[in-house]
């Protein structure tokens, strides 16, 4: 039994390497190009000997051809990171891609496919920052994010937009990522970031997901550097407005006449319940015209660090997400993927899977 992966993977690798069907036909010793074509479309089975020859000719391990839990040349990532060496990020991208591929493959088999249609924002590179802010405000309103949008944003992305949102232990220096696949969107958030940064990353990556075709983001974005390019600045304005709608700013105001230490204390006190960083709140107030830029720049940065706490917030969200945990647990239970394979893909010991899923209220007994 061959589920069709093998032919599709052969085609993907051949195209990735820039080989024509004629060239691979010669390499494999087929009589004609139609044989390869039939294999690639799944109309003809691949024999064991042929599979071995494909593995050698295309220089990939055998597993590559049949592993459903792998992004094989599919999907584009946009990483919010700073100073992560390229080989380390490449390796992490492969691991992160496996989580997304796992969700995609199991979801398709178990009746939890992503939405047929994608939602998009009607913004373009020509849009103004005010347009992005207005879109963020409307998003928070239309998706019912309430008085503290940071608390409901992830759930709305999963439930209303069908986006896979995963909390992960990323390599140091990675803050988050968006991933765009033909049939699925995903956002990864480094759960070890402080809450305000996590929420901001989520809203920022949401912008990229909702504007991917009109404004495809760069693969790498340095969150520690000033935003480069219009798309990133539009994303920042959208994110700030989603998390800090004007109504919330007014509710937490008034802001006139504040400066220096008094302003810093007010920013810290207001940022915490909104689930944002004091610094992000400061610039949102400037953008909303509620705080003069010169006054904002005059605040001592040290007073805003960790929202005025001595230590960063310690709260650590559980790994992955509830929909992810539910799907994987059900798939193991129904014999769609082995427990050992899941543990390996998730980077957890078998005995830790139950705890990781229980953190989302998902009961799971590996039974082994």
What is the binding site for other proteins (CB under 8 A)?
Answer: 1-3, 5-6, 45-52, 55, 62-63, 65-68, 332-341, 343-344, 349-352, 365-368
Q: Whose Cβ is closer to other proteins: residue 47's or residue 128's?
A: 47
Q: State in angstroms the smallest separation of the CB of 236 from other proteins.
A: 41
Which residues 6+ apart lie within 8 Å of 340 measured at CB? Answer: 350
Distance CA 297, CA 175 (A): 25
Q: Report in angstroms how near the CB of residue 332 gets to other proteins at its nearest.
A: 7
Gap between the Cα atoms of 244 and 275, Å rounded: 9
Residue closer to other proteins by CB (options 288, 337) is: 337
CB nearer to other proteins: pick between 102 and 270: 102
Q: Provide DSSP, 54-67.
A: HHHHTT--GGGGT-
The nearest distance, CB 367 to other proteins, in angstroms, is 4
Of the pair 42, 292, the CB lying nearest other proteins is at 42
- Nearest alpha carbon to residue 273 among 238, 309, 237, 248: 248
d(CA 360, CA 111): 21
How far is Cα 308 from Cα 220, in angstroms, rounded to an integer? 30
User: Least distance from C-beta 344 to other proteins, angstroms?
Assistant: 6
Residue 119 Cβ, how far from other proteins at the closest point, in Å? 32
Burial of 49 (0-12, 13-18, 19+ CB in 10 A): exposed
Q: How far is the CB of 299 from other proteins (least distance, A)?
A: 47
CB nearer other proteins, residue 182 or residue 335: 335
CA 354 – CA 346 distance, rounded (Å):
12
Query: Left (φ > 0), alpha (ψ -120 to 50) or beta: where does 307 sit?
Result: left
Smaller CB distance to other proteins: residue 80 or 104?
Answer: 104
Q: How far is the CB of 35 from other proteins (least distance, A)?
A: 16
Rg, Å, the chain Cα set = 24
Contact criterion met (CB below 8 Å) for 184 and 118: no
Q: Which is nearer to other proteins, 123 or 353 (by Cβ)?
A: 353
């Amino acid at each position: 039994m061959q589920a069709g992966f093998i032919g599709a993977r052969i085609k993907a690798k051949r195209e990735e390497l820039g080989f024509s069907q004629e060239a691979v036909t010669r390499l494999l010793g087929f009589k004609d190009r139609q044989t390869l074509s039939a294999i690639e479309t799944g109309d003809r089975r691949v024999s064991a000997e042929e599979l071995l020859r494909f593995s050698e000719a295309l220089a990939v391990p055998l597993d590559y051809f049949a592993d459903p839990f792998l992004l094989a040349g599919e999907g584009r990532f946009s990483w919010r990171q700073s100073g992560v060496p390229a080989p380390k990020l490449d390796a992490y991208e492969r691991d992160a891609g496996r989580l997304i591929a796992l969700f995609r493959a199991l979801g398709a088999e178990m009746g939890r496919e992503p939405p047929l249609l994608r939602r998009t924002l009607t913004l373009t590179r020509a849009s103004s920052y005010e347009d992005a802010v207005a879109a963020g405000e409307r998003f928070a309103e239309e998706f019912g994010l309430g008085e503290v949008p940071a608390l409901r944003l992830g759930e709305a992305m999963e439930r209303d937009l069908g986006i896979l949102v995963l909390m992960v232990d990323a390599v140091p220096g990675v803050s988050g990522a968006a991933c765009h696949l033909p049939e699925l969107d995903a956002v990864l958030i480094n759960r070890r970031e402080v809450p305000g940064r996590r929420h901001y990353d989520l809203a920022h990556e949401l912008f990229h997901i909702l504007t991917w075709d009109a404004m495809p983001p760069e693969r790498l974005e340095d969150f520690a550097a000033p935003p480069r390019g219009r798309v990133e600045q539009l994303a920042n304005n959208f994110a700030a407005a989603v998390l800090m709608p004007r109504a919330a700013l007014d509710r937490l105001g008034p802001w006139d006449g504040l400066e220096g230490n008094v302003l810093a204390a007010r920013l810290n006190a207001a940022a915490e319940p909104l689930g944002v960083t004091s610094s992000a709140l400061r610039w949102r107030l400037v953008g909303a015209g509620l705080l003069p830029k010169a006054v904002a720049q005059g605040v001592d940065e040290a007073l805003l660090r960790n929202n005025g706490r001595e230590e960063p917030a310690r709260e650590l969200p559980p790994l992955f997400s509830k929909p992810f945990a539910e799907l994987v647990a059900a798939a193991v239970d129904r014999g769609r993927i082995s427990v050992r394979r899941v543990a390996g893909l998730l980077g957890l010991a078998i005995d830790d899977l139950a705890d990781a899923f229980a953190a989302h209220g998902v009961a799971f007994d590996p039974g082994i």
